[in-house]
Amino acid sequence: MVRTWSLPALAVLCAAAALLLGGSVVFLAALFLQSAPPNVLSQRYQAQLNGIVYPEFEQNWKLFAPNPLQQNISVDARVQTISDGGRVHTRDWVGLTAQDIAAIRHNPAPSHVDQNLLRRAWDFYDSTHPAQDGVAVGERGKSAEEYLKRIALQRFGRTAGGERILQIQFREGTATIAPPSWSQEKVPTGIGYRELAWWPVDEDDYRGLL
């Protein structure tokens, strides 16, 4: 039996298809203009393009490959909680990057989230805080802070050890990759840490999180 669509149903389906197609074209065009060299359109509509692309869809396309990384960078986080009696506890550091590595290792098809979400969020934060003193540069800097915080809070949840989370703190661990055995290059050993300030946590930070 062949399904027969009524005229109103066909009109709705065609309108929905046109809307989805138009939205996809606009979104792909915004991504292209954001990544393309500066031009009249991207300069005129820069604010609108940034609103569509950042922070979830930030692009990092390059015509030529950059120099390979010579450092391993890890991101850790810890939280402060408050008990029912009002006592504040500072919890131990949790290796967020270590969690991603554990999920990727020995996985033949690791997810894009485990490979790139935290890494790109930290790159976004680092690029919007060039002075490394915790001062955000412009609205993108604030967006980077909120994005990084929400990624971590999605992993911690609303409580830690049964107590409500008050604040969260991040730190960056940097370790220089050892040169090959045949190289005479000398590099520092060990991990150097950079701690960020404590960021307060409220209910708005969990908006939309599972």
Instruction: Show pLDDT as tens, one digit a residue, over the chain (210 residues).
Output: 667 778 888 888 889 999 999 888 888 888 888 777 777 777 888 888 888 877 677 766 654 555 566 788 999 999 999 999 899 999 999 999 999 999 999 999 888 888 899 999 999 999 888 877 777 877 888 999 999 999 999 999 999 999 999 999 999 999 988 877 777 778 777 888 999 999 999 999 999 886
DSSP 84-119: TTS-EEEPPPEEHHHHHHHHHTT-SS--HIIIIIHH
* The pLDDT of residue 59: 65
pTM equals: 0.68
Burial of residue 148 (CB within 10 Å: 0-12, 13-18, 19+) is buried
* The pLDDT of residue 168: 97
Tokens of 186: 């000398």
Q: Which residues, 6 or more positions from 146, have their beta carbon under 8 angstroms from its beta carbon?
A: 205
Q: Which residues, 6 or more positions from 140, have their beta carbon under 8 angstroms from its beta carbon?
A: 50, 54, 55, 128
